Amino acid sequence: MSKRIGILTSGGDCPGLNAVIRGAVKSCDQLGYDCIGFLKGYEGLYDPVQYVQLTPKSTKGILNQGGTILGSTNKGRFAAVKGIDDRVEIEHSLIEGVQATVRQLGIDGLICVGGDGSLAIAQQFHENGIPVVGVPKTIDNDLQATAFTFGFDSAIECATDALDRLHTTAASHERIMVLEVMGRHAGWIALHSGIAGGGDVILIPEIPWSFEHVCHKILHRESQGKKFTLVVVAEGAELPDGGMVGQHAEGQQVKLGGIGKTVTDEIERRLHREARLCVLGHLQRGGKPTTFDRVLATQFGAHAVRLIVEERFGEMICSRPPEMVSVPILDAVHKVRTVDPQGPAVQAARALGISFGDRPADEASAGVFARNETAVDAYQPSELLDSTAAAVEVALAE
């Protein structure tokens, strides 16, 4: 009997999921494994079991398609996350049902493609003896163990394109344009698209901000003859009073969204200027994956198969350029990777005069590249010569 690998896509959809599936299927075919795909995420694993046979022929042409041919869900019986720090155990009867499915179908390894919540489910499977490996998926790029998640680059491309388009209409009508982007509790999408799209103000969860400083930046631009302003705000950015804008439902994660309107309304109220809001929403999760995401997702799919071949269950494949390595799933979940407020991307943005709403506009770049006297220089010729001479002396003495 041929060895068999299963694969499923769970959580929110994003560009690149089909590339992962294709990468895994083609690798299975080359290595002599059968591959089946479970439908509707984890729900397809049990009662009723729903799967399809996957072959290079059946997955032909899906590399550049958005979404997932297997379907996905972030709700249902296998939901293991109620909030960023509130995780629950899957019912034991469901675990037993999945164990029976894996046994009856002769699955040697199950590839679970998903974000933080979905991988938390995979970890519970692993703890109960189900042979799983993980593939990180989220447009938010907020998983700690991997440098990049596929879908992130595609989301940035979408948001940057929106800013390019908003720039021309904002300039034509001398308006303030507010763009709300996704990202949940991390500001990666807002930061990268804001820099790439020429944003003037970027509001992210990692940097506290105030309406006073946002408005000061707008007035400062006007004093320089710049009659329009582009404001990029991450959906998870906290308000100055510490609150978050979104819908709260019992037993579920907060459904973030709406802060863009709050920012737009407050700017209009304070400055008596015309402001307009654009909320990208699910546009960031749809459409074709970028070239970068296609390559990354394909590598993830192929190397996930490698983990199964090597029987390295309970691990997640991750990108640490130039290597493709793996870590225990447990080390990948429960840890959100957020933007470093002192990191190089934020420094570069400040050097350009971009405001993060945390200081007056005329101080936006103050102290950005101030020398840290305790830091070690990257290249110190005198010390290098001293160490080389010492090494020569030791070698001669031997």
Residue range 203-217, pLDDT digits in tens: 999 999 999 999 999
Asked if 262 contacts 245 with a C-beta cutoff of 8 angstroms, the reply is yes
Predicted confidence at residue 224, as pLDDT, reads: 94
Q: What letter represents residue 315's amino acid? A: E
Predicted confidence at residue 80, as pLDDT, reads: 57
Predicted confidence at residue 332, as pLDDT, reads: 84
Distance CA 159, CA 214 (A): 20
395: pLDDT strictly greater than 80: no
pLDDT: which is higher, 241 or 346:
346
Tokens of 225: 């003859």
Provide the percentage of residues in the chain whose pLDDT is more than 90: 72
Predicted confidence at residue 374, as pLDDT, reads: 46
Tokens of 189: 């999408």
**Mean pLDDT, the chain, as a whole number?**
88
Tokens of 298: 């394909």
Q: For 149-194, what is each residue's pLDDT tens digit? A: 999 999 999 999 999 999 999 999 999 999 999 988 899 999 999 9
Q: What is the band of 50 on the pLDDT scale with cuts at 50, 70, 90? A: very high
Residue with tokens 């993830």: 300
Residues taking part in catalysis: 140
Average pLDDT over residues 128-141: 94
Eight-state DSSP code of residue 137: B
321: pLDDT strictly greater than 60: yes
Average pLDDT over residues 301-318: 96
Q: pTM of the full predicted structure?
A: 0.86
Phi then psi dihedrals of residue 349, to 5 deg: -60, -45
Predicted confidence at residue 156, as pLDDT, reads: 96
Angle formed by the axes of helices 344-351 and 188-196, nearest 10°: 40
Predicted confidence at residue 43, as pLDDT, reads: 93
Residues 6+ apart with CB under 8 A from 169: 175, 177
Q: What is the band of 249 on the pLDDT scale with cuts at 50, 70, 90? A: low
pLDDT: which is higher, 202 or 89:
202
Beta bridge partners of 275: 176
Predicted confidence at residue 382, as pLDDT, reads: 46
Domains of the chain, each with CATH number or no CATH: 4-150+289-332 (3.40.50.450), 153-286+340-363 (3.40.50.460)
Distance CA 374, CA 380 (A): 14
Ranking 133-142, 192-201, 364-373 by mean pLDDT, the lowest is: 364-373
20: pLDDT strictly greater than 50: yes
369: pLDDT strictly greater than 90: no
340: pLDDT strictly greater than 90: yes
297: pLDDT strictly greater than 90: yes
Residues 6+ apart with CB under 8 A from 303: 317, 324, 326
3-state secondary structure 21-63: HHHHHHHHHHHCCEEEEECCHHHHHCCCCCEEEECCCCCCCCC
Average pLDDT over residues 115-141: 93
pLDDT: which is higher, 397 or 356:
356
